[in-house]
Amino acid sequence: MSAGVVADWLGAACLVAGGLLSLAAGIGVLRFPDVLDRMHAATKPQVLGVLLLLVGVALRLRTASDIGMIVLVAVFQLATAPVAAQMVGRAAYRSGRVDRSLLDVDELAEER
């Protein structure tokens, strides 16, 4: 078996795994009851799913220009998703949409 065939199979596996993680994230956003739970579902598995999809595409394409673009997309995804989740969580907390009885530690209580 050549290296290209192995890379194609690994790429396909990454694409399937990334798609399943993204599907699970979408289902979690629809099914979870709380804002913070939905935020968790929208960021953690979604980012990992997108990164797996990007790795799968990179393994399938294998050209320098494509891999450079994929790395750029991955960096932007890793840089923006945590910041967006932080802002959504803080806005939900400040607007009173978070059930504070579910929080083990309430670090933002001193800001109010």
What is the per-residue pLDDT for 8? 95
pLDDT in tens, 56-85: 999 999 999 999 999 999 999 999 999 999
Q: What is the DSSP string of 69-110?
A: HHHHHHHHHHHHHHHHHHHHHHHHHHTT-S-GGG-S--TTGG
Average pLDDT of 12-24?
Answer: 97
Confidence label for 103 from pLDDT (cuts 50, 70 and 90): confident
d(CA 90, CA 62): 40
At 112 the pLDDT is 57
**Residue 110 confidence (pLDDT):** 73
What integer pLDDT is reported at residue 76 of this predicted model? 96
Domain regions of the chain by residue span:
3-98
